[in-house]
Amino acid sequence: FKWEDPISLADRYFSLFPSEKSPLWSNPCSDDRHRSILSPKFNCTNLTLPNVLIVGPQKTGTTALESFLEMHPGVGKNGMVEGSFEEVQFFSGENYAKGFEWYAGLFPNASVVMEKSATYFDSVVAAERAATLIPHARIIVILHDPIQRAYSWYNHLVARNETIVAGLSMDDVLDGVSASAKKIRSRCISGGRYAHHLDRWLQLFPSTQLYLIDGGAFKDHPSQVMSDLTEWLELPYFDYESSIKFSRKKGFYCKFISGRSSCLGSSKGRIYPTLSPSLSSRLCSVFRNDNIALEAMLRKHRFPIPSWLPPLLDRCQ
């Protein structure tokens, strides 16, 4: 028998099992054995965790979707998190280390409790973490034309004057002319490899819990998309037709409240030059195989095919 101090024991344990270094939070209230040893201060009856996650990907309209869904009186979402600009990014980022109680403390009680973090979709850890903590949550993904999405990402960096993109054209980015260009290329492209990432979510959630939104339809007919979505979420009828109106000034649909338009800020729905045919054809090749796999995957799971996919497959042969 040999005494070993806990830190060195832990070091030894984690060198043998490195994948266990990060915790994987589950819900102690859903397991009687865990529940019985919880601190008496912990109140399982008041516990609120999201039952709907909008997981992304980034630059597909996730902010607009969240803002429209939030208009429904049956929907609640997390409060603002100190130090984060817009999203909680619990399952994909550093906030995960703050633990399950911290996360649960962010949400109000509502029939649909949602959280939107567009970084979840292509995160290698988010799906497993979400499936462990909220296995019954409904997962919403927007599938927008990946070529447009990649170009939107590039223009996002340009508009923000990010030093990483200084002096780099989109062609430079695709050519990977420097370390920065390679980094941007990966950010522009990764989230648009829909089949690759969807596969991960489908391994952890049944397809009946996943709802895929056609990003093109959402941009052009958001009230119809919102009505279909709220029906799927089993929420009472809400008059989206009169609550969302097209703003000519913004060039996008906006919330329409008390006779006034309320649009998203200038960082959503930017104006930039249209994609040139040569760039579009380069991006066609980038996403070609993934789009073919996506169509097969959608058919296999009986998901609707987004309107942009068949023409894209035709164009990118």
| Interaction site with ligand A3P (CB under 6 A) | 58-64, 118, 152, 155, 219, 252-253, 264, 268-270
What CA–CA distance (Å, rounded) separates 229 from 223?
10
Min CB(172)–ligand A3P separation in Å? 19
In the residue annotation, 59 being an active-site residue is answered as yes
Give 46's DSSP letter: G
What CA–CA distance (Å, rounded) separates 31 from 170?
51
Q: Which of 41, 59, 219, 255 is catalytic?
A: 59
Q: Which of 194, 292, 226 is nearest to 67 (CA)?
A: 226
Q: Are 287 and 279 in contact (CB under 8 A)?
A: no
Min CB(247)–ligand A3P separation in Å? 9
Contacts 24+ apart (CB under 8 A), 159-167: 159/267, 159/270, 159/272, 160/267
Q: Which is nearer to ligand A3P, 28 or 216 (CB)?
A: 216
- Helix and strand element counts for the chain (H, E): 14, 8
Backbone angles phi, psi at 275, to 5 degrees: -65, 130
59: left (phi over 0), alpha (psi -120 to 50) or beta: left
Q: Which is nearer to ligand A3P, 250 or 301 (CB)?
A: 250
Q: Are 73 and 81 in contact (CB under 8 A)?
A: no
Q: Which is nearer to ligand A3P, 112 or 226 (CB)?
A: 226
Pairing verdict, β 252-257 and 244-247: antiparallel
Q: Which is nearer to ligand A3P, 28 or 61 (CB)?
A: 61
Q: Which is nearer to ligand A3P, 50 or 216 (CB)?
A: 216
Which amino acids are annotated catalytic? Answer: 59
